[in-house]
Each structure stands twice: as C-alpha cells, then as structure tokens.
C-alpha cells in the first residue's frame, strides 16, 4: 500500500519547549550536530515546530543535479548522502528551509522521518518527545480520516503548500481572549 507519512500539528498546544528539537538531536547525535527540527515563532502569537515535510512534490528532489533524493512508498523523502556533492542547490530550493548543511560531512543533511525507528514500529523521536501532543504522527496524512474535517493545509507563518504539497496538516487556532494591562 502506498502511504504518506505526515505530521499533524496543533499550534494551540505548542509551548516552544524545544523537547522535539533536542529529542531529534538525541536520536541523530551520531551523525549531526544540528537538529532537523526547529521552532518558528509566528508574530509572538503562536509557535510552529517544523522539519522536512516529506512533500508530495519535493523541490529538493526536482533541483538536485545528482538525483540524491527519492520518494519512498511510505512517502518519506529520502536523501542518499553518498550521491550528494554538497552544491547546496536544494538548501535554497526548499521553501521551508528544512535542509541543513552538515559541516562534518560537507554534505546536505535532513530529517529522514526517523525511518530506523519507524522500522521498529516506534514513533519519530520528535513526536515521541512532545508532551503536549502538539506534534502528532499520521500514517496517511491526507487520506479521509475523522480529523480531516477539523484540520487545514496551512496556517499563517507556513509557506503556501501549493508548490510542494507538504505532508503536514494543522488544527486551526481558536480565538483566545487576552486582556492586556491597562496602563
């Protein structure tokens, strides 16, 4: 069966605690000094925790002169580092800035959706670490599921999904009441 692994993200729950960011480093510490995940503060209003979105039409895949990227049957956008020549074209092509340059290897590096863990039936390290459940994992992100009705393809602060069709959905934010100091 062809799947599309993806992230389901709830900005209303994310508190920028960075557990997901450091858990990713903890998992991939042997090969990298940078986390594949980062937290984006959107106008001081809410946070997004973002990594590679394992897009359906990945730009990195399209621009790479060495054909280093592949799209797996489970939807993971995989990078074959042995092919990478370090030219950096993909770094700027990815509208989400999801790729890193690995200084140790002089090659590009990226989130592989924790494929080793997935093989063992474990959740990605970042999802596993998120104690607020802001960051969730879905096997087949855009297929018809009960959560489809209440999720959307993008929120403010996230680059338009039209170009690459990223494998992430969001639970839209609720309106909050904020009473600022009367000074």
Partner 1 sequence: MMEEEVTLYKNVCPRNCFSTCSMITHVKAGKVVKVVGDPSHGFTKGKLCAKGYGYSQYVNSPERLKYPLMQTKRGSGNWQRITWDEAYDIISEKMVALRNRHGSNQSLAYNKFSGNLGLLHFAIEGLFESFGSHTKPVGNPCLGTGRQALKYNLPFEYSPPPEEMAYAKLVVIWGSNPARTNIQQMKFIHAARDQGAKLIVIDPIFTETAKVADMYIQIRPGTDGLLAMGLTKRLVDSALVEEWELRKQISGWDHYADILRNLDMKEVCEETGVCEEAIAELTSLYGTRTPVATWIGYGLQRRKMSVQNVRAIDALVTVSGNRFIKRGGLYYFHPEVENMPLKILKDNNQKNEQNREVNINHFASELLKLDDPPVEFLWIHSRNPLSQDQNIREWDRLMSQLEMVVVSDVTMSHTAKMADIVLPATTQFEEMDLHVSYWNHWLSYNQKAIEPVYEAKSDLQVARELAMKLNEKQPGFSRFPVELEAKDWIEKEVTDEVKENYSIKSWQDLIEKPAHFRSQFEEFQQILKAKPKPFTFFSKKAVEDGLSPFPIYQRDRENANHPFLLLTPQSLLKLHSQFGQVDWFEAYESSFDIKINREVGKQIGVETGDVLVVYNEQGDMEGLVELDASTPKNVVIMNQAGKEPVNALISTRLESYPGKESPELSSPFFDIYVSLRKGGVRR
Q: How many CB atoms lie within 10 A of CB 148?
A: 12
Return d(Cα 131, Cα 14) in angstroms, integer.
Answer: 9
Among residues 3, 34, 118, 140, which is the contact residue for partner 1, using CB under 8 A?
34
Return d(Cα 107, Cα 69) in angstroms, integer.
Answer: 13
* Interaction partner, residue 37 (ligand SF4, partner 1, none; CB < 5-8 Å by kind): ligand SF4
- Taking residues 122 to 161 in sequence order and writing x for each that binds partner 1 by CB under 8 A, - otherwise, the string is ------xxxxxx----------------------------
Among residues 80, 103, 116, 156, which is the contact residue for partner 1, using CB under 8 A?
116
* CA dist 180 → 11, 41, 42, 149, 171 (Å): 21, 20, 19, 33, 26
Instruction: Give the chain's length.
Output: 183
Residue 166 binds ligand SF4, judged by CB under 6 A: no
By CB under 6 A, the count of residues binding ligand SF4 is: 40
How is residue 60 written in tokens? 């990195």
Among residues 4, 5, 7, 23, which is the contact residue for partner 1, using CB under 8 A?
23
Residue 109 binds partner 1, judged by CB under 8 A: no
Q: How far apart are the first and last CA of the chain?
A: 60
Subset of residues 43 to 82 that bind partner 1, contact rule: CB under 8 A: 44-47
22 alpha carbon, distance to own chain's centre: 14
Q: Which span sits near partner 1 by CB under 8 A: 25-33, 63-71, 92-100, 105-113? A: 25-33
Return d(Cα 93, Cα 95) in angstroms, integer.
Answer: 6
Residue 115 binds partner 1, judged by CB under 8 A: no
Binding interface with partner 1 (CB under 8 A): 12-19, 21-23, 25-27, 29, 33-35, 44-47, 116, 128-133, 174, 176-183
């Amino acid at each position: 069966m062809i799947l599309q692994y993806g992230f389901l993200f709830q900005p209303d729950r994310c508190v920028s605690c960075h557990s997901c960011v450091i858990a990713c480093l903890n998992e991939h510490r042997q090969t990298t000094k940078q986390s594949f995940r980062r937290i984006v503060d959107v106008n001081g209003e809410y946070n997004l925790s973002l990594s590679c979105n394992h897009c359906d039409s990945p730009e990195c895949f399209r621009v790479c002169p060495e054909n280093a990227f592949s799209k797996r049957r489970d939807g993971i956008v995989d990078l074959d580092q042995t092919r990478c020549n370090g030219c950096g074209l993909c770094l700027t092509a990815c509208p989400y800035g999801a790729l890193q340059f690995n200084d140790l290897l002089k090659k590009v590096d990226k989130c592989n959706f924790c494929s080793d863990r997935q093989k063992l039936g474990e959740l990605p390290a970042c999802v596993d670490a998120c104690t607020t459940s802001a960051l969730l994992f879905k096997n087949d992100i855009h297929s018809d599921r009960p959560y489809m009705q209440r999720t959307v393809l993008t929120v403010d602060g996230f680059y338009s999904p039209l170009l690459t069709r990223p494998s992430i959905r969001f639970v839209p934010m609720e309106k909050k009441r904020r009473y600022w100091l009367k000074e």
